[in-house]
A and B are shown apart, each in its own frame.
Chain A
Amino acid sequence: MNTPLLTNTFGIEGRVALVTDSGGLASIDVAPLLAAAGATVIVADRDPEAVRALVAKITSAGGRAAAIPTDVESESSVKALFAQVEREYERFDILVNCAGVNANQPFVDTTLEQFDQVNSVNLRSTFLAMREGVRLMLAKGNGGRIVNITTMGALHPVLKDNAIYCATRSAVTMLTRSVASDYAKDRILVNLVMPGAVVGKTRFHESTLAAMQQGRKLKGPGVDTERRQPLGMGTGQDIASAVLYLVGPAGGYITGQAIILDGGFLCS
């Protein structure tokens, strides 16, 4: 085993990375792996305790991490986040947008307020973080990598009663591809990771949690694990490994692409 080659191919030592969200499976596995691969990882999320817990998990394993509590839905909060990153770090290399909310409820019962809330987390917050992130990467002048973690549900209905989640996540696909096209010349590479049956990759909206507590069960092709998930369930580690590949040296010629982590669902 050629260990220098491995670190030269997949390692990100010395890079500064920002991960949004701190509670979903994506962030709680992605942030520690980026740190284990050598990056300094900034964790940004609304819940200060969750952010600090994730940072503590990273630092206790010997990694470098910092907590910056941020409301990713607030333009001023996101701007303050990136201003702090610019002040406190010499470089800015990697942005991973993990924040998301899954609101599972019948389409006809969805209120406009719920639509706006879901859209605010899934699309609008991604736009805000990407805009500020690209601005900072351009200012630093060293290129950069952005990975947006969405869902296989942006390609194909996986659960019933999930239209707004899928639609707002699907919009992130063209945001990703368009920004990839716009900034490839600046060596800013932008890609998607789209997990399927990875439970806990995003949070559930309060309305969905309340309905589930009252006994409502998730339905749809994705819950037919026997026939539609031939590789079984995925894990947050699967997401993290794909993200690290994309943000490390090995991902240097890949932009505007989607890595679909669906355990074979789309071919089932």
Chain B
Amino acid sequence: MENQISARLASIYGLAGKVAVITGAAQGLGFATASLFAEVGASVAVADLNLEAAQRAARELQAKGATAIACKVDIADESSVKALFAAVDAEFGRVDILVNNAAYRGKAEFFDMPVQEWDKMFSVTLRGTFLCCREAIARMRAAGKGGSIVNISSVSAVRTTLWGINAHYDAAKAGIDSLTRVLSGEFAADNIRVNSVLPGGMASEGGKNISSSYNIRGPITLAGRIPMKRTANPLEVAQAVLFLASPASSYITGQLLAADGGFMVS
């Protein structure tokens, strides 16, 4: 029975034989996603701004028997993104799944925000996602076997989560959701699906760094505003990413899936 169940589940939610590129994959949600994908059969390109951390992460996956490579990428830099996908071409010869997880997490008071801070947010979070999508979709189309792109957005793209310091982040994440819709419509005929996952509160490394250096306040921080009364661990969000990357969601494109413990209905 156990074997029957897992064989059935593998055919629906498994990624055997697939190649996945995951940005920001050295830690937090990106690493949780890379680990989960590797465990269900994918070959993974662990792409990160920090090459040493990416190498550590890739070695950790390899130690568990997975096929993984580490790549340095600065998604704000077009040539760096092209180099990432060239490395993936050389290693795997294909791309089936792209998870756009890398983002700039800076915070700034609205009136004091240097325009350079605004520009950095958009050059990384939105422009970088565009660059990775363009490279991946070109390869998926050429191969003619479809593909799945999962963009990591945020509930803050559709609801106010933090006050005063998050305008550029929220707007950039909303831009990602728009990209999700536009690209899904444009490339559905090629069976390339594009969806967003919207985490709510999540206890990831990136989030912890921010909490320690800013006065964080806003709806999502108020007592009782997360109906499940806890933040997510990155694995719970990674499981949503896997659902959208896997054959289970083969009829879903252009959609937003929030893993937010009920924040959007609170």
Q: Which of A9-17, A18-26, A81-89 makes up part of the contact surface?
A: A9-17
Interface size class of A (residues with CB under 8 A): 35 or more
**Are the C-beta atoms of B266 and A7 separated by less than 8 Å?**
no
In Å, the complex CA distance between A180 and B261 comes to 10
Q: Which of B50-58, B105-113, B163-171, B238-246 makes up part of the contact surface?
A: B238-246
In Å, the complex CA distance between A245 and B191 comes to 22
**Are the C-beta atoms of A184 and B262 separated by less than 8 Å?**
yes
**Are the C-beta atoms of B228 and A241 separated by less than 8 Å?**
no
**Are the C-beta atoms of B251 and A257 separated by less than 8 Å?**
no
In Å, the complex CA distance between A267 and B1 comes to 41
**Are the C-beta atoms of A238 and B251 separated by less than 8 Å?**
yes
A15-53 toward B: CB 8 Å interface, digit per residue (1/0)? 000000000000000000100111000000000000000
CB neighbours of A187 from chain B (8 A): 228
CB neighbours of A235 from chain B (8 A): 251
In Å, the complex CA distance between A241 and B252 comes to 11
Partner of B13, one of A6, A195, A238, A253: A6
**Are the C-beta atoms of B14 and A1 separated by less than 8 Å?**
yes
Q: A242-B248, A256-B264 are in contact. Are A267 and B253 (CB under 8 A)?
A: yes
Partner of B5, one of A7, A198, A230: A7
- Dominant SS among interface residues on chain B: helix
In Å, the complex CA distance between A11 and B12 comes to 12
Q: A9-B239, A238-B250 are in contact. Are A263 and B10 (CB under 8 A)?
A: no
**Are the C-beta atoms of A10 and B251 separated by less than 8 Å?**
no
Total contacts A-B at CB 8 Å: 169
Q: Is residue B74 within 8 Å, beta carbon to beta carbon, of the partner chain?
A: no
Q: Is residue A3 within 8 Å, beta carbon to beta carbon, of the partner chain?
A: yes
How far does the Cβ of B222 sit from chain A's closest Cβ, in whole Å?
A: 15
Q: Is residue B254 within 8 Å, beta carbon to beta carbon, of the partner chain?
A: yes
**Are the C-beta atoms of B258 and A257 separated by less than 8 Å?**
yes
**Are the C-beta atoms of A38 and B5 separated by less than 8 Å?**
yes
Q: Is residue B67 within 8 Å, beta carbon to beta carbon, of the partner chain?
A: no
CB neighbours of B264 from chain A (8 A): 256-257
Partner of A259, one of B7, B8, B10, B257: B257
**Are the C-beta atoms of A253 and B228 separated by less than 8 Å?**
yes
Q: Is residue A141 within 8 Å, beta carbon to beta carbon, of the partner chain?
A: no
How far does the Cβ of A260 sit from chain B's closest Cβ, in whole Å?
A: 5
How far does the Cβ of A74 sit from chain B's closest Cβ, in whole Å?
A: 30
CB neighbours of B16 from chain A (8 A): 1
Q: A6-B40, A253-B232, A268-B185 are in contact. Are A263 and B251 (CB under 8 A)?
A: yes
Q: Is residue B123 within 8 Å, beta carbon to beta carbon, of the partner chain?
A: no
Identify 12 residue pairs between A and B in the complex whose beta-carbon atoms are under 8 Å apart, listed by A's number: A1-B39, A6-B14, A6-B40, A180-B262, A181-B266, A185-B228, A230-B253, A231-B191, A255-B228, A256-B262, A257-B264, A263-B253
